[in-house]
């Protein structure tokens, strides 16, 4: 029996990086998976998984798209147990004064509003089936300062606080809500392609002095999605090679 046997999960940002790895891991652990992305690559990962996957094209900053994504999961698989609210992007590193308003709006819309919309539409479906687990992708940059990433850090800090507050809202109702906080991870956003190995010998600003791998973040998401973490809610767990422990 897999750790998600019998469960239905949505993974946003499934077309690359952490989402790509997590969609495949959730399926390997027995879940039926809705692979959601805006890139078109959601179809590729769903095809790799097979009949237990459904690809859905989604802009997570659109309430209509997110509502449709949840509806598609329930219509295809009958319920919703898990949401991995993972879609996001970082944008270029630059001082705050060089960030234009359009970039600010896009970063907040995807990284913060997208998480809000995912929870807003997923939680009622979970309540109808007796509860569930939501895992939000925040960032180490949402826990400590990160030079050149003021707006991204603000959005991810908002994800951390929204995770904690929403977890309190629904703790007694059986919906657990937690966040993972990646450090520097070798994803498509960092130049990686699905399943590619990160470069070795990199001197990165995290104590383990290497890139994180999407599979390592997927493992953390799996733990929080599964019943193994049944007494954990409102947590923001760094998976960052020790970055925030310094």
Residues marked active site are found at 152
Nearest to 25 by CA among 215, 208, 232, 158: 215
Q: Which two tokens stand for residue 56?
A: 């859905």
Nearest to 212 by CA among 236, 235, 246, 189: 189
Q: 120, exposed or middle or buried, with CB in 10 Å at 0-12, 13-18, 19+?
A: middle
> Rounded CA gap, 210 and 199, in Å?
9
> Rounded CA gap, 232 and 224, in Å?
8
Q: What is the CA radius of gyration of the chain?
A: 17
| Sole residue written with tokens 């767990």 | 237
> Rounded CA gap, 195 and 227, in Å?
27
Residue 65: helix, strand or coil by DSSP? helix
> Rounded CA gap, 230 and 200, in Å?
36
């Amino acid at each position: 029996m897999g750790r998600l046997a019998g469960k239905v999960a949505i993974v946003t940002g499934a077309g690359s990086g952490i989402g790509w790895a997590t969609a495949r891991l959730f399926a390997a652990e027995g879940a039926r998976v809705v692979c959601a992305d805006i890139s078109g690559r959601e179809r590729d990962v769903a095809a790799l998984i097979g009949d237990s996957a459904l690809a859905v094209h989604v802009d997570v900053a659109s309430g209509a798209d997110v509502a449709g994504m949840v509806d598609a999961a329930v219509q295809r698989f009958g319920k919703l147990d898990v949401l991995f609210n993972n879609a996001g992007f970082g944008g270029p590193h630059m001082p705050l004064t060089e960030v234009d308003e359009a970039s600010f709006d896009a970063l907040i819309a995807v990284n913060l509003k997208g998480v809000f919309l995912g929870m807003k539409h997923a939680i009622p479906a979970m309540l109808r089936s007796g509860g569930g687990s939501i895992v939000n992708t925040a960032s180490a940059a949402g826990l400590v300062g990160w030079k050149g990433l003021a707006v991204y850090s603000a959005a991810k800090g908002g994800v951390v606080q929204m995770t904690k507050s929403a977890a309190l809202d629904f703790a007694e109702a059986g919906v657990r809500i937690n966040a993972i906080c990646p450090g520097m991870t070798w994803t498509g956003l960092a130049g990686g392609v699905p399943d590619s190995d990160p470069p070795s010998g990199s001197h990165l600003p995290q104590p383990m002095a290497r890139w994180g791998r999407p599979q390592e973040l997927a493992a953390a998401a799996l733990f929080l999605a599964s019943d193994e973490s049944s007494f954990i809610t409102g947590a923001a767990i760094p998976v960052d090679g020790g970055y925030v422990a310094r």
